[in-house]
Chains A and B, each alone.
Chain A
Amino acid sequence: MEHFSIKNTGSTAAKTPPLEGGGASLSTKSLSIGYAKGKFKTPVQSDLNLELFPGEMVCLIGPNGSGKSTLMRTLSGVQKLLDGKIMLDNKEISKYSQKELALKIALVLTDRVDVENATVRDIVALGQHPYTHWLGGMSEKGKQKINEAIRLTHLEHKKFNFINELSDGEKQRVMIAKALAQDTPFIFLDEPTAHLDLPSRVDIMLLLHKLAHTTGKAILISTHELDLALQAGDRIWLMSEHGGVKSGVPEDLVLNGTFNRVFENDAYYFNTTNGNFSMNYPMTKKVNVVGDKTRIYWTFRALARIGISVEPDAETLITINNDGWNMNSQTYKTIESLLKALSDSSLSGKT
């Protein structure tokens, strides 16, 4: 399992006071979401009491089928709620017209954007749509908003490139820039890192985190990237199947065991030591390992894969030193050669 750490560069983590959108609020009261066909209602989640704060990035995570997309769609006013209330700036969300809602919430969706001959600026400029009249004249302030959105998403050098020439990561940044240009207090993003390579995923998460802090917008994203969400999210909405949504700071949810309960499974477990999912390999043999921390960690992982657990009472001892891995007075330069030697030898079984 890949694991990327987000470096704390100080500037991104420092909490700056919200510049705009201050006072904007979105909250749910005994919200029930799901699907309705006529009078027949199929609730996916019920009794949700959630709140979004300005200047915060919230990551909505949960197993597939727990209703992440349904919640996102309901909160953005696309899907009707089954019961309860969603209050947006002290007014029920159902009372907003399409146009009023576009001034409050900007969306980044999973829909493929494939427009021929459209430049980055053209797409970002669409974010200003709710502010322009039918002939499309744009104010100086609108142009400034567009330029600012392009600057914040680091797309200045691509401003006049066609979006079909961009990489997937850059395209996603264009859609985020469009949402910024919409100048709303809330931005909702549905799986913004899906289909991206790992560096782009980290890049997008960092960017969103930074934007929440520098612009004071409330940013809500749904994601499958648990380790990135744990690192970048100011708050986690952890959704379990029919078990409601637990809201909290990521570290609290890890330490009080909520994470483990939601993602319990035979094949893997949530490793509270490193914030990763670890696979549950069937362990049949055991060894003991001593040495430096980093190499012990990676040796653990390699051994687990071939079904060997590391336990202090094991007969075989592997010592990691400057020469490499030492076992039975034999030195191995690489983990690969060590693994080969281990699979050839007969170890005592796991008790």
Chain B
Amino acid sequence: MKETETAYYSQNSSLFLRLFGISIALIIHFLLDLAWGSIRIPIAEVISTFSGNGSNEIHSEILVNFRLPKAITAMLAGSALSVAGLMMQTLFRNPLADPYVLGVSSGASLGAALVMMSTGVIVGSASSWIVVVAAIAGAALVMMLVVGVSFKVQSAVSLLIVGIMLGTIVSSIVGVLQYFSNPDAIKLFIMWNLGSLSAVTWEHLRILTPIILIGLFLAFSLQRRLDGLLLGENYAKGLGISIIQTRILIVITTSLLAGAVTAFTGPIGFIGIAVPHIARGIFKTSNHNTLIPASILLGAILILICDIVSQIPTYTLPINTISSLFGAPVIIWIILKKTP
């Protein structure tokens, strides 16, 4: 008895050690992301700028008005997509679920496209919250469709295929919309749809940050129910969990997280699918009270790495390209691992 209790406590302390290590890694990548770019700024100067002793005015202008909002957006997006992915994987009991693969991000694009092309409003202008609301509504619509389909489809890979098809349908509708829109609106939309972290300004962050924080708070509040859902819905019911209410709350939370991120950065693929698996691998647990904070931290790190990598060529690559490069092999790996 004594031995197992000690094992439990040492397990607990190693948990905090690992969370601490990951937090350090996050800070390092955050600083690297600030330093890296078409103009390299030494990390020492980055630190001195933020402690108020910056000497180079151009550098501090770049840091404060471009790189800092970009890095914060990256971290918010990475955390939000990872937590949304984690919740979807638990809800569908499907290791391959995430907002991008199951078409939720495409739904957000459709919502945003409808508003942008019909009104010419883009994210960042005074009425940009309309785009955000439309994106969240679009995400929620697809999410509800996927939940509906998941009652019928049991196999993980089948649900994945249905999700990809839903995404394709939604993207095609966007394509049809483009055909009927004026060239200026289309240009705006295409720029947005490529996905960019650097287009997000302090102004945008004032809308994005609170929405993501609300979404993450909702996710934390659902952690016990998510644990119960791991056993399947029948067992969860037996534990006193209201399934319908929980499902609605998960749809709202994932739509807020994935919809808001997509509205500002465009679709970013595969972060949501890969990060929860990395978190489970590192922490060797299924408990959401560990997996949610772990996904937040690891999601932020992974997307910062993607952003740093995308700066290596002279021209900044779209973030979605880099994240797919990381994430798509993860899906292949999971399918290979699951297939006996």
Which A residues form the contact surface with B (CB < 8 A)?
76, 78, 98-103, 105-107, 109, 111-113, 115-119, 121-123, 126-127, 129-130, 132, 134-136, 156, 159-160, 182
Contacts and interface: CB of A to CB of B under 8 A. Distances in A.
B52 interface: no
Contacts of B234: 78, 107, 109, 111
Contacts of B11: 160
11 contacts: A105-B238, A107-B234, A111-B234, A113-B232, A117-B280, A119-B285, A126-B228, A126-B231, A126-B239, A129-B239, A136-B227
B14 interface: no
B272 to A, nearest CB: 17
Contacts of B230: 115, 118, 126
Interface band, chain B = 20 to 34
B231 A136 contact: no
Contacts, number: 89
A163 B3 CA distance: 20
Contacts of A159: 4
Nearest to A78: B237
Interface string B308-329: 0000000000000000000000
B181 interface: no
Interface string B282-297: 0111110100000000
A119 B220 CA distance: 21
Contacts of A127: 239
Nearest to B285: A117
A246 B232 CA distance: 33
A99 B225 CA distance: 12
Nearest to A159: B4
B8 interface: yes
A263 to B, nearest CB: 30
5 closest A-B pairs by beta carbon, nearest first, are: A102-B240, A107-B238, A118-B286, A99-B240, A129-B239
Contacts of B224: 129, 132, 134-136
Given A122-B285, A122-B286, A136-B223, A156 B239 contact: no
Contacts of A78: 234, 237
B235 A113 contact: yes
Given A99-B242, A112-B232, A117-B285, 15 more contacts: A100-B240, A101-B240, A109-B234, A109-B238, A117-B280, A126-B227, A126-B230, A126-B235, A126-B239, A129-B241, A130-B240, A134-B222, A134-B223, A160-B4, A160-B8
